[in-house]
């Protein structure tokens, strides 16, 4: 929290991000509820899930676009106002063509564009963040950003549903409130723009002119840039492997609860809600209150510890199916997992050329998220077609292989190598 108190520019940015996240989080759950009341509700809910996921895959494209953009803050302001404008159009559609499937398709397209613009605007601020934060502030700042995101996600669903109830299921009014949140985020940044003048001037003066090239060429160059840094590329592959496993945990967990009653704590719904709350609480505490000794571990070491916990999580339903034990391990895994992301983000900020920060950030997002549907298809498919326990066993084997790989490549730890190099120079 110290960086929030002493760094005015970061404080402004995090408050604006809070309102932006509220707008995104609230509408996600409400749009899903809206889809569930339509005539073809199964298809509608599936399309919503796809529309929310697909913009993340375009992060690498948005990152390259962000790196080519001049005047990041002006572009960010325009992007936020564009999101607000899109939700005003959504409000009109929900007012006059509510409940129709053809208008729902139009809404899907609009939400897709709003989320894609949101991804672009977030990546625009990556080099700005790098300038306003000192090296020793990076990790704490990343942790606080993560905490804000988790807090909004944790309360967003409940608050969104509650607010919708207070509005008597008036989806148009809800969309209008959503547009207002993006305007608030824009207003906060605009009023406090003077805090970012030096950052903007620095980016403008250091931004190298880039020849006009086809998009595929830019994407290839970004990948080549990351691939040449073998240690960083290794971390990126590990993040992809973790996402391959991690995104399937919830789905296989839900299927397991339907088959293994001993894991239930009360009803199915209560158990799912409790596990969700426990995991989010672990992530939140890990972001805000990290244990001091963990700061001495490298990102790869922390990742190995977190994956060891995931391995325990996967073995519980096979060896000792007990809901309380599973819940405790979930909390520990979430706590350690919350330590990994800020450290990884700090490495990204320090190691990557400022002119390529947004491009590489987008590439990381695309790489990590592209493995998610493959993992879900594999592990959820096995859980449904064969047995949840077989799925857990295969997940455990993949997790164990990843931990063994981390141990075997411990000499190629990016932070250890950097520390050794610095010591040698001194």
CA atoms within 13 A on the CB side of 376: 10
Please answer whether residues 58 and 119 qualify as being in contact, where contact means their C-beta atoms are separated by less than 8 angstroms.
yes
Q: What is the rounded CA–CA span in Å between residue 79 and residue 81?
A: 5
Q: What is the rounded CA–CA span in Å between residue 51 and residue 49?
A: 6
Q: How far apart are the first and last CA of the chain?
A: 32
Nearest residue to 89 (alpha-carbon basis) of 157, 16, 182: 182
The pLDDT > 90 percentage for the chain reads 14
What pLDDT, on the 0 to 100 scale, is given for residue 423? 47
What pLDDT, on the 0 to 100 scale, is given for residue 420? 55
* Residue 209 DSSP symbol: P
Which of the given ranges, 229-238, 251-260, 304-313, has the highest pLDDT on average?
304-313
Residue with the larger pLDDT of the pair 251 and 426 = 251
Confidence of residue 86 (pLDDT cuts 50, 70, 90): very high
Nearest residue to 372 (alpha-carbon basis) of 195, 189, 247: 247
For residue 345, pLDDT beyond 90: no
User: Comparing 7-207 with 220-425, is the CATH topology the same?
Assistant: yes
For residue 211, pLDDT beyond 70: no
For residue 250, pLDDT beyond 60: yes
The angle subtended at Cα 102 by Cα 40 and Cα 370, nearest 5°, is 70
Arithmetic mean of pLDDT, 105-123: 89
Q: What is the rounded CA–CA span in Å between residue 117 and residue 228?
A: 30
Q: What is the rounded CA–CA span in Å between residue 54 and residue 72?
A: 24
For residue 64, pLDDT beyond 70: yes
CB proximity list for 184: less than 8 A, separation 6 or greater = 19
Q: What is the rounded CA–CA span in Å between residue 104 and residue 416?
A: 52
For tokens 């994407």, what's the residue? 219
| 220-425: CATH, from 1.20.1250.20, 1.10.3720.10, 3.40.50.620, 1.10.10.2120 | 1.20.1250.20
**Mean pLDDT for all residues in the chain:** 82
Which of the given ranges, 49-53, 55-59, 419-423, has the highest pLDDT on average?
55-59
Please answer whether residues 425 and 307 qualify as being in contact, where contact means their C-beta atoms are separated by less than 8 angstroms.
no
In sign, the C-alpha dihedral spanning 47, 49, 50, 51 is positive
What pLDDT, on the 0 to 100 scale, is given for residue 129? 85
Nearest residue to 316 (alpha-carbon basis) of 365, 262, 236: 262
What pLDDT, on the 0 to 100 scale, is given for residue 294? 75
Domain coordinates in residue numbering, the chain: 7-207, 220-425
Confidence of residue 422 (pLDDT cuts 50, 70, 90): very low
Q: What is the rounded CA–CA span in Å between residue 52 and residue 305?
A: 31
In sign, the C-alpha dihedral spanning 143, 145, 147, 153 is negative
| Topology of the domain comprising 7-207 | Growth Hormone; Chain: A; (1.20.1250)
Please answer whether residues 239 and 360 qualify as being in contact, where contact means their C-beta atoms are separated by less than 8 angstroms.
no
For residue 24, pLDDT beyond 90: no
What pLDDT, on the 0 to 100 scale, is given for residue 399? 93
Nearest residue to 390 (alpha-carbon basis) of 314, 326, 334, 298: 314
Nearest residue to 235 (alpha-carbon basis) of 390, 66, 418: 418
Predicted TM-score (pTM) of this structure: 0.78
Torsion of CA 24, 115, 57, 362, to 10 degrees: -90
Confidence of residue 269 (pLDDT cuts 50, 70, 90): low
Nearest residue to 209 (alpha-carbon basis) of 76, 74, 70: 70
Residue with the larger pLDDT of the pair 252 and 190 = 190
Neighbours of 175 (CB within 10 A): 26
Residue with the larger pLDDT of the pair 419 and 74 = 74
What pLDDT, on the 0 to 100 scale, is given for residue 156? 66
What pLDDT, on the 0 to 100 scale, is given for residue 208? 59
Confidence of residue 392 (pLDDT cuts 50, 70, 90): very high
pLDDT digits (tens, 9 = 90+) for 394-414: 999 999 999 999 888 888 777
For residue 348, pLDDT beyond 90: no
pLDDT digits (tens, 9 = 90+) for 139-159: 888 888 888 887 777 776 667
pLDDT digits (tens, 9 = 90+) for 158-188: 677 777 788 888 888 888 988 999 999 999 9
Confidence of residue 425 (pLDDT cuts 50, 70, 90): very low
The angle subtended at Cα 410 by Cα 367 and Cα 363, nearest 5°, is 15
């Amino acid at each position: 929290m110290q960086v929030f108190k002493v760094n005015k520019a970061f404080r402004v940015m995090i408050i604006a991000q809070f309102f932006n996240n509220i707008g995104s989080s609230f509408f996600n759950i409400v749009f899903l509820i809206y889809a569930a009341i339509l005539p073809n509700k199964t298809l509608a809910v599936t399309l919503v899930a796809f529309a929310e996921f697909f913009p993340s895959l375009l992060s690498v494209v948005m990152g390259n676009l962000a790196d080519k953009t001049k005047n990041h803050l002006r572009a960010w302001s325009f992007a936020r106002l564009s999101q607000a404008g899109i939700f005003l159009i959504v409000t009109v559609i929900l007012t006059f063509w509510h409940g129709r499937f053809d208008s729902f398709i139009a809404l899907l397209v609009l939400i897709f564009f709003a989320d894609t613009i949101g991804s672009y605007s977030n990546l625009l601020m990556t080099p700005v963040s790098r300038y306003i934060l000192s090296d020793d502030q990076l990790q704490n700042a990343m942790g606080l950003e993560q905490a804000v995101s988790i807090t909004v996600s944790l309360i967003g669903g409940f608050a969104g549903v509650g607010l919708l109830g207070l509005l008597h299921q008036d989806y148009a009014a809800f969309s209008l409130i959503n547009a207002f949140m993006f305007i608030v985020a824009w207003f906060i940044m605009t009023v406090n723009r003077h805090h970012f003048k030096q950052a903007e001037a620095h980016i403008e003066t250091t931004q190298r002119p880039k020849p006009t090239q086809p998009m595929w060429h830019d994407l290839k160059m970004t990948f080549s840039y990351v691939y040449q840094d073998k240690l960083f590329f290794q971390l990126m592959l590990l993040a992809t492997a973790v996402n391959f496993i991690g995104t399937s945990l919830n789905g296989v967990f839900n299927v397991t609860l339907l088959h293994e009653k001993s894991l239930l704590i009360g009803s199915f719904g209560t158990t799912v809600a409790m596990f969700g709350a426990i995991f989010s609480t672990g992530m939140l505490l890990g972001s805000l209150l990290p244990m001091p000794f963990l700061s001495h571990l490298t990102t790869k070491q922390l990742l190995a510890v977190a994956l060891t916990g995931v391995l325990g999580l996967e073995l519980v339903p096979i060896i000792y199916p007990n809901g309380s034990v599973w819940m405790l391990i979930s909390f520990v895994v979430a706590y350690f997992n919350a330590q990994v992301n800020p450290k990884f983000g700090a490495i990204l900020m320090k190691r990557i050329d400022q002119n390529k920060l947004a491009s590489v950030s987008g590439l990381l997002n695309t790489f990590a998220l592209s493995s998610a549907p493959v993992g879900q298809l594999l592990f959820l498919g096995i859980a449904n077609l064969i047995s949840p326990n077989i799925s857990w066993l295969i997940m455990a084997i993949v997790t164990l292989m990843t931990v063994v790989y981390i141990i075997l490549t411990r000499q190629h730890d990016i932070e250890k190598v950097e520390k050794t190099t610095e010591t040698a120079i001194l």
